Amino acid sequence: MPEGDTIFRAARTLHRALAGKTVVRFTTVLTQLDRVDIDTPLVGRTIESVEARGKHLLVYFSGDLILRTHMRMNGSWHLYRPGERWQRPGREMRVVIATDDFEAVAFLVPVAEFRTAAMLERDPALQSLGPDLLDPDVDLAEAVRRLRERGSMPIADALLDQRALAGIGNIFKSEALFVAGISPLATVASLSDDALRALVQTARQQLAANTRDTLEPQLTPWGGPRRTTGSARRDGRLWVYGRAGAPCRRCHTSIALVKQGEDARLTYYCPKCQLATSQASTRG
């Protein structure tokens, strides 16, 4: 599933390409979108802005119309010049928003719906989101408070709960926990407030570091290789994610892999660097 950094980069790139431009063609295979387009056509509207909220991508059109999409596991937005060959099969297209200069194509997006501003304010999918770690004005204290409410939950599962804090996925869950020295098996209740604050700040720094400011010509599901170690080597970019059985980059212990939560999401960690009791201190 694309994580918050991917959606952030996608929204930024789409905004730069489309904002202020007029829609010259709108195509969709989704009945719920096509019905709105027939009643209130998209062609002729101005694309006002594109923004990310957690893992949701919002396209704002003039006339109080907003397209909300969520990528889930396989969805992605691509950006092409008119006439440029798509990098995905046409059968995977779900939405096309075209201007004179660009063609934005959503492939395999499982969630796509139009909303007005008033409807968006009441949308439970957005209103239930916790603080977005890529928001420059994010309230980190509120993120810690929401995590604290998930007392008996393993911290790895709590980090993926978008109602606690928005933007973290499987990769940054594992990477942030490693850097913070916290076992993914530790419950939230066992962690001090200082440990939770440091963890949230670490995750925020890692996400922000992977939203490099470039205009990418094409948007793919992952948007390029992530880095959390600072290394540019192909085999040295991540601390633990995807490295089960490989030696820890710090202590050389074999990286462990565990499935957690109802969806059996994979978590990678170092059993030595991330001792289950290492952060089980009195709450600060």
How many domains does the chain contain in total? 2
Phi, psi of 266 (to 5 degrees): -75, 135
**Bridge partners, 110 (sequence order):** none
- What is the structure's pLDDT at 2? 63
Residues 241, 201 share a domain: yes
- What is the structure's pLDDT at 214? 52
Residue tagged active-site, from 55, 103, 173, 221: 55
Residue tagged active-site, from 2, 131, 154, 221: 2
- What is the structure's pLDDT at 3? 76
Look at residues 92, 123, 128 and name the one whose alpha carbon lies nearest to residue 110: 92
Residues 9, 105 share a domain: yes
Q: What is the DSSP letter of 92?
A: G
Picking from 71, 100, 127, the residue at the C-terminal end of a domain is 127
Picking from 60, 93, 127, the residue at the C-terminal end of a domain is 127
Q: Point out the residues of the chain with pLDDT beneath 50.
A: 215-223, 277-284
- Burial of residue 170 (number of CB atoms within 10 Å: 0-12, 13-18, 19+): buried
- What is the structure's pLDDT at 271? 96
11-33 exposure pattern, b = at least 16 Cβ within 10 A, e = fewer: bbbbbebbeebebeebbbeeeeb
Q: Judge contact between 268 and 240, C-beta under 8 A.
A: yes
103 a catalytic residue: no
- What is the structure's pLDDT at 231? 84
Task: Tell me if 277 is assigned to some domain.
Answer: no
173 a catalytic residue: no
pTM of this structure: 0.80
Say how many C-beta atoms besides its own lie within 10 A of residue 229's C-beta. Answer: 16
- What is the structure's pLDDT at 217? 44
Look at residues 8, 10, 49 and name the one whose alpha carbon lies nearest to residue 216: 10
Question: Is the torsion defined by CA of 252, 276, 164, 261 positive or negative?
Answer: positive
Question: Is the torsion defined by CA of 88, 89, 95, 101 positive or negative?
Answer: positive
Phi, psi of 58 (to 5 degrees): -120, 125
Residue tagged active-site, from 3, 103, 175, 184: 3
Task: Tell me if 179 is assigned to some domain.
Answer: yes
> Angle CA(244)–CA(250)–CA(255) in degrees, nearest 5?
15
CATH number, domain at 182? Answer: 1.10.8.50
Question: Is the torsion defined by CA of 157, 238, 132, 96 positive or negative?
Answer: negative
> Alpha-carbon distance 7 to 174, whole Å?
19
Residues 100, 171 share a domain: no
- What is the structure's pLDDT at 222? 39
Q: Judge contact between 218 and 209, C-beta under 8 A.
A: no
- What is the structure's pLDDT at 213? 61
Residues 102, 34 share a domain: yes
Structural domain that includes position 75: 4-127
2 a catalytic residue: yes
pLDDT digit string, tens, across residues 168-178: 989 999 999 99
- What is the structure's pLDDT at 275? 80
Task: Tell me if 50 is assigned to some domain.
Answer: yes
> Alpha-carbon distance 113 to 91, whole Å?
19
Task: Tell me if 281 is assigned to some domain.
Answer: no
